[in-house]
Amino acid sequence: MIGKRLRELRKLRGMTQEQLASYLKTAKSTISQYENNINEPDLRTLIRIADLFEVTIDGLVGREPVYPASKDRSGAGLFKEELTENESNYLKESLTMYRKWISGSKND
pLDDT digits (tens, 9 = 90+) for 19-38: 999 999 999 999 999 999 99
The Cα–Cα gap between 76 and 36 comes to 28
Q: Helix/strand/coil (H, E, C) string of 28-88? A: HHHHHHHHCCCCCCCHHHHHHHHHHHCCCHHHHCCCCCCCCCCCCCCCHHHCCCCCCHHHH
The Cα–Cα gap between 61 and 6 comes to 9
The phi, psi pair for 56, rounded to 5°, reads -85, 160
pLDDT digits (tens, 9 = 90+) for 41-75: 999 999 999 999 988 888 888 777 766 433 444 45
The Cα–Cα gap between 57 and 17 comes to 20
pLDDT at 82 over 90: no
